[in-house]
A and B are shown apart, each in its own frame.
Chain A
Amino acid sequence: MQEQVKIAAIGSDDTVLLFNAVGIKTYVLESPAAAERVIFELANQRCLIIYVSEDLYLEIPETLEKYKSAYPIIIPIPTEEKSQGVGLKKIRENIEKAIGFDIF
């Protein structure tokens, strides 16, 4: 991880493979602990956006809480299996917080 990474993707092989195609640095990881460690290191290098596969995303609530500030933005992405709607749920929560009621 020598060069400056601005956008990164973390997840299983199949999930993050495509990100390689657009030049996004990818990390193929299976365990949440490892994901937490990588996010920590990326954050320390001022990485701005980190895509994380949904299954890992659900396992690392503490890390998500830690990086609630502006950057890095941690975005869940669906895996090769069916989407669990994690991202949508998050958006819904945020909107509810912002405007006071559920518009979905």
Chain B
Amino acid sequence: MNVNENKKIGIIAKVSGPLVVAKNMKDVQMYDVVRVSDKRLIGEVIELRGDVASIQVYEETAGIGPGEPVYFTNEPLSVELAPGLIEGIFDGIQRPLDVIYGEAGDRIPLGIDLPKLDRERLWNFKKKVEVGAEVSGGDIIGFVQETPVVEHRILVPPALSGTITAIHEGEAKITDVIAKLRTPDGEEVELTMLQRWPVRIPRPYKRKLAPREPMVTGQRVIDTLFPIAIGGIAAIPGPFGSGKTVVQHQLAKWADADIIVYVGCGERGNEMTDVLNEFPRLKDPKTGESLMMRTVLIANTSNMPVAAREASIYTGITIAEYYRDMGYRVAIMADSTSRWAEALREMSGRLEEMPGEEGYPAYLSSRLAEFYERAGLVETQGNENRIGAISAIGAVSPPGGDTSEPVSQATLRIVKVFWGLSSALAYRRHFPAIDWLRSYSLYEDDLYDHFNKLKPDWSKQVQQAKDILQEESKLEEIVRLVGVDSLEFSDRLTMECARSIREDFLHQNAFDEIDTYTSLEKQYGILKAILAWYRLAKDALKANASFNKIINMKVRERIGRMKYVPEKEFAFEFEEVMKELNSEFQNLTRGDDFYA
């Protein structure tokens, strides 16, 4: 692998699960990759004391013992960045799982050494610059059509600049030289499509921008009540079975992003299977192509080695950063950061570090912050002022759903959007079980400007809906105490309206073909119809209309079915509903026979 590896050899002194301690390691550096034993397991140096190094091994360490060698590579843990990432499924250290499956079957053999990306595949490289052009880090030198929807922009590696002395056009493998660059020092550098980047170092950018635009997800409770910005960060904490994974999948499917990086870390294997089965079949509403054409999957399921889980998050975000640098809007989903934190805890425990809260290492929150801070809206390197973004959405699985535990708390300190899932809602079969009373979005104010441009009364309408839901929870306490009979009709009407908002608007069926995605236009329309009913109903009640007649109106059923109306027919349906609403209320207040 590397010329040095035979010269310098460490000796294993201790093995403790994924942790290997080796002596004679003076010449390694922190976070260097080493190959452990003659099985050549991949490991990473995570602690150095004198000539003793602690190595976290990304593979099963059964059968390894003291005295066995450790080979150096003198390279940090890196990912390979080149065309071929999209549609790929990798493990935590970017080993291609589909290729391994083809070579070795459904168990990953120890120490398997395969290229991370397909070296043989030919890509059609189209140049963008000519010989003699001055380029610097981040400039685009050419394109490759990676999938029908993703144009892979080949960039000058971040630290390089100089004059192009040769450029290729046409078919090339990722390791072929596609351009030559003379640096200001007069050195000639060969550029390939393949770049490496150490996962623990954030890729550079020009400057960070404040997120301003919403990332439309097609999920009503998210877009309307708790929107996330492009380049924003969100957390989804929730107990088991409350639908974290389904929400993550929904976002991966429908979020308004060019590239999706889905990191399944420490969750069940069959959830990744779902993604693999479903995504190729689903069509992206914008491009009409399969969703897989814009997705990179990173899988470290619960039965895969713990240490690689720690790396999977970094692998994911580095790939995301690479596409961000091309000027794409990337969304990264991590499911779940709790499992990742548990991997940290396990390693920390084996390293005999002083435990912090609940045994998590003291650096838990700084590690979490490091990860989330790599998201954001940025002006990328290069001369084109490209804007790229990474929106990060992390699931958190607090034990027992109690968000006062360290991982949730550390996450909440960093993220700006909090979608708290509630087991009570999940139990009531209200999905997505995002608790509207606990959740919040700190992007709201910025994003409302954008939404209001779309529909002038968007924020007013949303505020009203929130107030009604708020009111409902207060009234519900009274009802629980003394029964619904004790409420005045106007309060009962509020509760009815809240029920309608919950059932007809917030509830969304991820498995219904039409309901799974709702455009902003439609979201606005449904909410408007519900609130229009509420307003008219309040007036009618004041004019002595019968409460029972109001709540049993036929049009309400129709409002309830609005979410199942296809996008194309929605504008017409909305008009019809509003007409019916008005006429039904007119009949109600006029039809009262006075002094009959």
Contact = CB atoms under 8 A, between A and B. Distances in A.
A34 B595 contact: yes
Contact of A66 (B489, B592, B595, B596): B489
Given A65-B485, A66-B489, A33 B596 contact: yes
Contacts of A37: 544, 592, 594-595
A62 B548 contact: yes
B593 A40 contact: no
A37 B544 CA distance: 7
A31 B593 contact: yes
Given A36-B544, A62-B546, A62-B548, A29 B489 contact: no
Interface in A14-47: 29-31, 33-34, 36-37, 40
Classify chain B's interface size. Answer: 10 to 19
A31 B544 contact: no
B547 interface: yes
A29 B594 CA distance: 10
Contacts of B596: 30-31, 33-34
A67 to B, nearest CB: 10
Nearest to B486: A68
Contacts of A65: 485, 489
Interface string B577-596: 00000000000000011111
Contacts of B593: 31, 33-34
Interface string B520-539: 00000000000000000000
A83 B346 CA distance: 81
A91 to B, nearest CB: 18
B544 A34 contact: no
A36 B547 CA distance: 12
Interface string B544-555: 101110000000
A30 B593 CA distance: 12
B548 A34 contact: no
A66 B541 CA distance: 10
Nearest to B549: A62
Given A62-B546, A62-B548, A34 B594 contact: yes
A62 B488 CA distance: 11
A19 B339 CA distance: 80
Contacts of A30: 596
A36 B593 CA distance: 10
Q: Which 9 A-B pairs have the closest CB atoms?
A: A40-B544, A31-B596, A34-B596, A37-B594, A34-B595, A33-B593, A66-B489, A62-B546, A62-B547
